[in-house]
Amino acid sequence: MLRIQDISFSIEGRPLFEGASAVIPTGHKVGFVGRNGTGKTTLFRLITSELSLEGGAISSTKGARIGGVAQEAPASDLSLLETVLEADTERVELLAEAETATDGTRIAEIHGRLQDIDAWSAESRAAMILSGLGFDEAAQARPCADFSGGWRMRVALAGVLFAEPEILLLDEPTNYLDLEGTIWLETYLAKYPHTVLVISHDRELLNRSVNAILHLENRKLTLWTGGYDQFDRGRREKLEQATAAKRKQDARRDHMQAYVDRFRYQASKAKQAQSRLKMIERMVPIALEEEQRIVAFNFPSPEELSPPIVKLDDAVVGYDGKAVLQGLNLRIDQDDRIALLGANGEGKSTLSKLLAGKLKPMEGRIHTSSKLRIGYFAQHQVDELELDETPLQHLRALRPLETPGRLRSRLASGGLGAEQAETVVRKLSGGQKSRLSLLLATLDAPHILILDEPTNHLDIQSREALVTALNDYQGAIILVSHDPHLVSLTADRLWLVKDGKVTIFRDDMDAYRRLLLSERGGVKASQPVEKKVKPAKPSTGKRRQSAPLQSEVFKCEQRVSKLEAMRKELDQRLAAPTVYEARNLKKLEALQKKHHELQDALARAEAMWLTAVEKLDQAKGA
């Protein structure tokens, strides 16, 4: 169990948490969401004690190991497989001690513990994880130093998955994965045998891999049951109900205040006016959560060209005379929406650069319309922005004759307001830099928009806005993305880049998901062997002791569910317009009283549930 109790923390005087609390039961898979910059990564650093709390406490089950990916694996001479095996420090230490131990009792303890943690299957488990993340057998034998930083981040992720900490913290793990690695990780996390807390803007991962959502808003934490879509619906419903209730409360208050203002000085009406004034004072204002405003993308649409706008005939493309892709016979029309599938290193970015005109074919021909305009966005371009220039200066360099007002209007259409327009790029967030790069790529209303990982720094709301903009856009789209949600909602054609060729994949993303998992070991193979925390298995007596506690947890959960259903029904009754009419004042007061009673009962029931869960965890770990 991970317990966050009444915590407070500030950075440079800006409060990130104020009396925030949440309890994550053992074994739960939890997606951690909230606006960028509100403190999600900071909470991870507080959980691992890298930062110190100003108030409150964070605790976990005694003996539980907490693990995450802090940095890329070192560029050492160890092979990838050896690097991952080294991540399980307990196994490494036990094997080393087994080589030198002479006491028979201690030797027996060592081998018993090695058996409990399934040390003898370690190499096969490590190899399976590396394979799932995109490293074939040959790559696993190569030294870490042979790989770039992005690939070594995958090795670090493989290491922490292999070590299987009881509390696994992952901060945007898909940012350094391809689509194939992301799909595999979704399946693996869903099967992970311990608690997971993952920060992610990947909607598909948050629907497929977790069973709860931890929401950070207004410096508070709220735990919701279910995946992201269920959380999103529930939060919207709650906001709509609260908005309706507040609207009715405001109308009721205004009505009573008007009566008070009119009759408070008339002797015959003074008592009634005074009564209404007291009712106004007793009203508890309904506070509304601020709905996050989604800043739209607006991509200008080009004029229509005759098809095809791009055609490749037996083209070969590569670098320094070495072919990466060959035999390319492809056609693109202006209404095409094409996603490129295939693992990193197979040539998706190479094909994107060929289509963008940044690479010339080594052999064959590429035919393009004479009026063709191409927009190209790649992740490295975000890093190549002029850090000491403002977005306004970037735009002025491309449109020197346009007025400042027109330039600012363009920036606003891309989601960069007046404040960001005058801020140097180095001080912008990753999402704001991506918006600027997308604006620059689409400035000329391109007929083809080539997007290579456009979502790396975009939050969920911005990704949804990007989906809308791409579906409204009137040009062709070539998309490379590790976000399955974006691919499935925007692409209607799939091209598979593999083994030096590009072929049409004539099925949908679900079929590709099944194909990929079968190639990388499948769902069954991706389930890790559960490592036991204690050397000995629970005795029959312990199991017998935990049985009634498990029953009590279930009863508490049933009680909480029933009270929540009663509260929801009462909220709906309070939202009815007729209940605020003058003739129903007594009924309104009765309903409000019952609502307060239900709130108190629900708080007590949740406290009882928490106590029962803690007792059960203690019994299991005894």
Q: How far is CA 380 from CA 16, 349, 456, in A?
A: 31, 11, 11
Per-residue pLDDT, 545:
52
CB 526 within 8 A of CB 158: no
Residue 474 lies in a domain: yes
Residue 271 lies in a domain: no
Q: How far is CA 440 from CA 398, 481, 584, in A?
A: 9, 19, 60
Taking only the tens place, the pLDDT of each residue in 76-96 is: 999 999 999 999 888 888 888
Q: Classify residue 101 as exposed, middle or buried by CB count within 10 Å of its CB (0-12, 13-18, 19+).
A: middle
Return phi, psi of residue 560, to 5°. Answer: -60, -45
CB atoms closer than 10 angstroms to residue 288: 11
Taking only the tens place, the pLDDT of each residue in 308-347 is: 999 999 999 999 999 999 999 999 999 999 999 999 889 9
Write out the residue range of the structural domain in which residue 359 sits.
310-525
544/518 same-domain check? no
Measured at the CA of 210, the angle between CA 208 and CA 215, to 5 degrees, comes to 120
513/573 same-domain check? no
Return the CATH number at 16: 3.40.50.300
| Domain-terminating residue out of 232, 257, 275 | 232
Per-residue pLDDT, 582:
65
Closest CA to 2 of 67, 61, 69: 61
DSSP symbol at 44:
H
Residue 92 lies in a domain: yes
Residue 257 lies in a domain: no
E strand or H helix at 326: strand 322-332
Residue 397 lies in a domain: yes
570/516 same-domain check? no
Cα dihedral 104, 108, 111, 113, rounded to 10, equals: -130
Q: Is 87 left (phi over 0), alpha (psi -120 to 50) or beta?
A: alpha
327/439 same-domain check? yes
449/338 same-domain check? yes
493/603 same-domain check? no
Classify strands 493-498 and 337-341 as parallel, antiparallel or unpaired.
Answer: parallel
Taking only the tens place, the pLDDT of each residue in 386-426 is: 999 999 999 999 999 999 999 999 999 888 888 899 999 99
Taking only the tens place, the pLDDT of each residue in 559-612 is: 777 777 777 777 777 777 676 666 677 777 777 777 777 777 777 877 787 777
Residue 275 lies in a domain: no
* Domain count of the fold of the chain: 3
| Domain-terminating residue out of 232, 263, 285 | 232
358/434 same-domain check? yes
Residue 568 lies in a domain: yes
603/468 same-domain check? no
382/482 same-domain check? yes
Task: Compute the chain's Rg from CA coordinates.
Answer: 29
Tokens of 133: 């993340």
67/27 same-domain check? yes
Classify 266 as helix, strand or coil: coil
CB 177 within 8 A of CB 198: no
414/452 same-domain check? yes
> Measured between alpha carbons, how far is 593 from 600 in angstroms, rounded to an integer?
11
Tokens of 491: 């692409």
Tokens of 365: 């021909």
Q: Name the pTM for this structure.
A: 0.73
Positions in the chain short of pLDDT 70: 268, 286-294, 521-551, 553-555, 558, 577, 579-583, 617, 619-622
Residue 596 lies in a domain: yes
575/477 same-domain check? no
**Dihedral sign computed on CA atoms, order 125, 127, 128, 130:** positive
- CA 508 from centre of chain: 23
Cα dihedral 15, 200, 32, 69, rounded to 10, equals: -80
| Domain-terminating residue out of 199, 232, 265 | 232
Closest CA to 163 of 200, 128, 122, 211: 122
Return phi, psi of residue 209, to 5°. Answer: -110, -20
